[in-house]
Every structure is written in structure tokens, then in C-alpha cells.
Structure 1
Amino acid sequence: MKLPNTAHTSRPWRIHELAGDFELEDVWALATPGGPDGLAQLVRQFTSDDGSHQSALVVRTLFAIRWKLGALLGWDKPGSGIGTRVPSLRDRLPADLRDMPRGPDSETLPFTSVYQTDTEWVSEIANRTMHGLMHIGWVPDGAGSYRGQMAVLVKPNGWFGKAYMAAIAPLRHVLVYPPLIRAIGRDWQMRATG
């Protein structure tokens, strides 16, 4: 379920002090009920190479098209990513976050972990179109349990990046995130019962 931006901005996340120059694109509730210590399990699910979180055919197809277009148009060339075109968000971390384990990198997608606490995990990606952050938070659900919440923050690269983000917004909201969020919930449920 898509949430209002305040579901992210009203929380006391550490990301707020680090990413003030990023735009909050989307906030989504994840059907991942659990106890107060469930974030580590959710992060393992996001970063594993079993592909279950990408199980929706539409999502796999759209990602495949995006990577082909990126290769064809040079959006993902070496020199366009983290540490080359843009510095890593890790460079902004205060000492307490820098000294903590940063969490795992994705085994299947080009996301690099920035930091992980008990309640939030941030990973990043960059290419010629944008520098993006995926923020996964672990929040009380109001009924005595907890669940995941995903926020996407982006810093577009110039006018082209802004146009690209505007052009893909309808695809993200209709074809990418809803099936992806359902797949995350199904995978969570399977792991909980299996």
C-alpha cells in the first residue's frame, strides 16, 4: 500500500540528517509483520540472490528493459556510479554510523549498502540519470506488531534526470511497485511459514 510522505518524514530516521538534498519519491507499507527485531530478516530477504522478491513477471520484464536501455544509451557505464560520478552517501556518515556494520549489499541488483541500524537500512545506486536511495524502515504497526516500510529518495542528475524520473513515475506507481510490494509480502509469508 502506498503511504503519504509523512509516514517517512515524521519518523526519527537517521537518513533525514544525511539526505536533505534528495527528493522523497515514494513511501510504501510492506506486508511483513513481525516483532521488534525483524529488520535484519527483511534486509536478508531484500539482498538475497534467490530472486523471490523479483518474482513478478512485470517487474522482471521492466527491469530487464531498463538495463537494456541503460546499456544502449550509456546510462550505467563505469564512471557514472557511486564513487565516480557521485560520492557515496557513506562519506556523509557520522562516526557512530560509520563504525557500525553497514549491512549487506544486494547480490542481484546494483545497490550498495550504506548503513544499517536496528530500525533502518539504506542502500544506494547511481547512474547517469540519478543518485537513488532505498530506505527500509522497521515501524510499529499500531496493533502491537511491526512491519517494513520502504521509501525511495532520489537526486536527479540535471534536467535529463528530472525528465527521466517524471517519465517513469507512472510505470513505477502502476507496474513496478504494486507487484513488487505484493511479491515481498508473499516471500515474507512463505519464509515465516516455511
Structure 2
Amino acid sequence: MRLPKTAHTSRPWRIHELTPDFQVEDVWALPTPGGPDDFPRLVAQTVSGDFPEGAPLVVRLLWAARWKIGALLGLDREKAGLGSRVASLRDRLPQDLRDAPAGPEFLPFTSVYLLKDEWAAELANKTVHTVMHMGWVADASGGGYRGRMTVLVKPNGRLGAAYMALIKPFRYLFVYPALMRKVEREWSARTDGSSPAS
């Protein structure tokens, strides 16, 4: 379920210290009901997933088209990424977050930090510097917890702003609904004790 941006900005997440120059693009309540100690399970499921391979054909085609166009236009070249066009958020970390685990490998993203209820990973290309932030929050219904995913962005000038505007309807119509169904399937499969769904 999509949430208002204040669902992210009103919480005392550590990511706020690192991203005052980023915009909150999307906030989602994930279909991952659990207990207070289930956040590592959500992180493990996220990094082991094979999205978009298990998604509907239209999502797989959109994904493939994005990488083809990106290759043609040089959007994802190394010189447009982290450490080249933009500095990594790891360069902004206060000492206590530097001492925390960086987090798991999650290509094409780079993990920034991992805490007991919060994980951030970043990606940069010619169009945008983006952060995927995952959190674990008490459920409003009381007693349970669930995951929350926030996408933060820092567009690269007019190109980045145009790119974000262009992909927005595709994200909401196709990508996010397919992603939420996949997250729910895999979470339910693991809760039931069966193997994760693809």
C-alpha cells in the first residue's frame, strides 16, 4: 500500500541525516507482517529476490527496455555512478554508522548501512542518485510489525527530472504492483515454511 511521504519523514530514521538534499519519491507499506525481530528476514528476502524475472511480461519488457536504452545513451557508465559523478553516502556517515555493518551485496545497488530496523542502499547513474531505504515499523493495528520501503531521489538536472517524470506512470501502473505481489508471495511462502516463490 502506498503511504504519504510523511510516513517516512515523520520517523526518526538515521537516513535523514544523510539525505537532506534528496526528495522522498515513494513510500510503501510492505505486505510483510511479522514480529519485532523479523527485519533481517526482510533484508535477506530483498537481496535474494530475482525481480523482475518473476514479474508479469510487461514489467520484464519495461525492465529490459530500460537497460537497453541506458546502454545506448550511456546512462549507466561507471563515470556516471558512485564515486565518479556523485560521492557515496558512505562518505557522509557519522562514526557510529561507519562502525555499523554496511549491509549485504545487492547489485546494482551498493549498501550504505544496516541497523536492527533500518537498511539503506544507493545507486547512481547519469539521471539520478537514488536511495532505497527499508525500515521495520510497528503496525498501526497493534502488536505486529511490517516492512516499509522508501525511495529517495536526487535527480541530475533537467535530464534527471525528465527521466523521473517519464518513468513515473510505468512505476505506479506496472512495476510497483508487481513488486508488491512478489514480496507478499515470497513472505507468505517463508511464513508457511515452504520454499520462497519465484
Shorter-normalised TM-score: what interval? over 0.9
Segments ≥4 residues shifted beyond 3 Å: none
User: What is the DSSP-based 3-state SS (H/G/I as helix, E as strand, rest coil) of the residue aligned with 2:146?
Assistant: strand
Partner residue in 2 for 1:147: 146
Is the Cα–Cα contact under 8 Å of residues 31 and 185 in structure 1 kept in the other structure? yes
Partner residue in 2 for 1:114: 112
- C-alpha separation between the residues in 1 aligned to 2:176 and 2:99? 33
Partner residue in 2 for 1:46: 46
Q: Which runs of 5+ in 2 are unaligned?
A: none
Q: Which letter maps to 1:185?
A: E
Structure 2 CA distance for partners of 1:52 and 1:24, relative to 1, 3 Å: closer
Structure 2 CA distance for partners of 1:11 and 1:157, relative to 1, 3 Å: same
Is the Cα–Cα contact under 8 Å of residues 51 and 179 in structure 2 kept in the other structure? no
Partner residue in 2 for 1:188: 187
Partner residue in 1 for 2:168: 169
Partner residue in 2 for 1:70: 70
Q: Shift of residue 80 of structure 1?
A: 0.9
Q: Shift of residue 32 of structure 1?
A: 0.5
Q: Could you give the per-residue CA deviations for residues 64-101 of structure 1, whole angstroms, max 9, x where no partner exists?
A: 11111100111011211111111100100000011011
- C-alpha separation between the residues in 1 aligned to 2:167 and 2:161? 10
Q: Which letter maps to 2:116?
A: D
Q: How does 1:80-159 map to 2 (within 5 A)?
A: 80-106=80-106, 109-142=107-140, 143-159=142-158
User: What is the DSSP-based 3-state SS (H/G/I as helix, E as strand, rest coil) of the residue aligned with 2:24?
Assistant: strand
Is the Cα–Cα contact under 8 Å of residues 133 and 152 in structure 1 kept in the other structure? yes
Q: Shift of residue 102 of structure 1?
A: 1.1
Q: Shift of residue 62 of structure 1?
A: 1.8
- C-alpha separation between the residues in 2 aligned to 1:54 and 1:95? 38
- C-alpha separation between the residues in 1 aligned to 2:109 and 2:51? 17
User: What is the DSSP-based 3-state SS (H/G/I as helix, E as strand, rest coil) of the residue aligned with 2:80?
Assistant: coil
Q: Kindly indicate whether structure 1 or structure 2 has the higher relative contact order, using CA contacts under 8 Å at least 6 residues apart.
A: 1
Structure 2 CA distance for partners of 1:54 and 1:185, relative to 1, 3 Å: farther
Q: Which runs of 5+ in 1 are unaligned?
A: none
- C-alpha separation between the residues in 1 aligned to 2:73 and 2:125? 11
1:15 aligns with 2:24: no
Structure 2 CA distance for partners of 1:17 and 1:6, relative to 1, 3 Å: same
Q: Shift of residue 52 of structure 1?
A: 5.8
Q: TM-score, normalised by structure 1?
A: 0.94
Is the Cα–Cα contact under 8 Å of residues 2 and 27 in structure 1 kept in the other structure? yes
- C-alpha separation between the residues in 1 aligned to 2:53 and 2:128? 22
